[in-house]
Structure formats: C-alpha cells, structure tokens
Amino acid sequence: MNEEIFLAERFAANRGHLRAVAYRMLGSASEAEDAMQETWLRLARSDAREIDNLGGWLTTVVARVCLDMLRQRKSRREDALDMEGPDEVADETAGINPEHELAMADAVGLALLVVLEKLAPAERIAFVLHDMFDLSFDDIAPIVERTPVAARQLASRARRRVQGSDEARAPDRTRQRQVVDAFLAASRGGDFAGLLAVLDPDVVFRADAVAAQLGAVAELRGAQAVAQSFKGRAQGALPALVDGAIGLLVAPMGKLRVVLMLKLDGERIVGIDAIADPDRLGQLDLVLLD
C-alpha cells in the first residue's frame, strides 16, 4: 500500500509534464487524459524497484501510448481537430476544463497543431519529443522502433513539413537569405562597414569548446568586436538550413568542420553560435542552399 501511495505521488509530480507531452502529440486534451490514465495503469503494473529514472520511464511510456493512439486514429481515418479547433467544446463532466484547454491550445499554437495532424504518427512523435522536449534520438529510437539515425530523419522530415507549411515564412526566409549573403560578402571582402550594417549593435558570438580549440574566441559581444573577428574571413562558408533555420557551414574538402547557427531579428544578425563538436554536428539537420 505504501508503495502504491509513493508511486501515486511520483506520478502526480510528473503529471504536468506528461500532460504537455501527450497534448502536443495528440492535439486533444481528452485523449491526452486517456493516454495519462493508460500510463498510470502501466506504472501500477510495473515493478518500480526496476525503474532507475521514473521521469524518463513515464515519458517513454506516454509517448508509446500516444503513438499507438495516433496509429489507431489514422487507421480509423478520424480527424483529431474539428472545425472549431482541438476539443474547444470540451465536456466538463469528462474532467476537462474548457478554459484550461483553450489556454493549452493557445500555448502550443493552433496552427502548429493543425500542421502536426498532417504528419505520420512516427514523424510526429520524433518531432515533438526532440524539438519540443529535447529528448535525444537515442532515447526516441526505441519508442518509434527505429535506429537513432532513422529517428533523426523522421524528425527532420517532420520539421521540414512543419516549416514548409507556413507560407508566411517564405518572404522572411528570402529576407534572411539576403542578410546572410550580405554578411558573407562583407566578411569575405573585408568590408568592416558592411559587416556593421548587418550586425545588431548587441550581437553575441559564442563558440563551443571544439570551435574554440580550432581558434575561435569563446565569446564576443557587440558589433565592433564581432565584425573585427569576421573581417576578411568566412571564405569557405556556405549558406545552409540548420535544423530548418538559416545558417552557414564550413566544410573544406567536403568534410564538415563548423556550423554557424545564426539568429536574426528583422534585417540584423543578433546571435552567432559556432558549433564544431562532432557529436553535436551529427545531430544537426543540414540542407545546403544554392
């Protein structure tokens, strides 16, 4: 009895996280509650003494339950989102608070939920767990019954579909590419004024430990310092999409060495992260731009 109380307390402590995971995967608060109930039942039937990381175990189980539910939903050709949005007309007798549900839908983004419905079940699980909850592909792989590499490909494919579905991003992507091209031209040509024109006054450059070993400064702050560092450089840098966002990669002789992840605000670069750690590079979804 004491063990059951202990498990109930631990489950309650993880309830908010589990509900968020299930809701983003299913787009329905009522189905999320069903998934959590099934997760609790599986926990109650398990030997808690064999579970080293209960939070991770619960996340894995609720993800598998959601995957099964998505597959069943697809086989029945049901639409999880009706014309009113995800469960907007919730039945309070079922224990769902309509105001809370609308708040959840607003937090996730109705447009995103609609797009997620277009993904295959395994794609949706991989994308949600990695991009929204930062799980590694090693952890995601057994959930979707794939290798880590295949799980990463699932998430990458889902990410491209999610980003490609937002037509409003097209003009932004074009403008961002123009900013990056201007940055490259100024850097390669040693145009200090040109660099200042595309760098935010408070821009921050950061390099990971491996990039620092290759000669990069660990951190630079301010347009003057960053422009001076990039002046006359970036000769081998190429525009690319890095996890769906605009960035640069350096791959001499075809070997990827460094990725520059750029953060833009309007027509200015406000952040640059230099990634050279091989493990981190292997996890990035890179698409070279023409």
Q: Are residues 10 and 134 in the same domain?
A: yes
Asked whether residue 216 falls in the same domain as residue 173, the answer is yes
Residue-wise pLDDT tens digits, 172-185: 778 888 999 999 99
Last residue of a domain, one of 139, 164, 189: 164
Last residue of a domain, one of 164, 187, 213: 164
With a threshold of 0.95, does the pTM exceed it?
A: no
* Position 84 confidence tier, pLDDT thresholds 50, 70, 90: very low
Q: In the numeric block, which tokens belong to residue 224? A: 């003057």
114-144 pLDDT, tens per residue?
667 778 899 999 998 998 888 999 999 999 9
In terms of domains, do 142 and 248 share one? no
With 60 as the cut, is the pLDDT of residue 52 above it?
yes
Whether residues 159 and 198 fall in one domain: no
Q: Is the same domain home to 197 and 265?
A: yes
Say whether pLDDT at 227 is over 80.
yes
- Decide if pLDDT at 76 tops 50: yes
Give pLDDT tens digits for 248-270.
998 887 788 999 999 998 889 99
- DSSP one-letter string for 48-73: GGG-S-HHHHHHHHHHHHHHHHHHHH
Tokens representing 127? Answer: 């994308």
Q: Do 210 and 275 belong together in one domain?
A: yes
- DSSP H or E run through 74: helix 54-76
Same domain assignment for residues 155 and 181:
no
Comparing CA positions, the residue from 129, 130, 150 lying closest to residue 141 is 150
Domain range for 211 is 169-288
Provide the domain count of the chain: 2
In terms of DSSP bridges, do strands 199-207 and 268-275 run parallel, antiparallel, or are they unpaired?
parallel
Structure confidence at residue 78 as a pLDDT band (50, 70, 90): very low
Same domain, 217 and 90: no
Q: What is the pLDDT of residue 167?
A: 46
CATH code of the domain covering residue 116: 1.20.140
Specify the CATH number for the domain of residue 269.
Answer: 3.10.450.50
86 CB neighbour count, 10 Å cutoff: 25
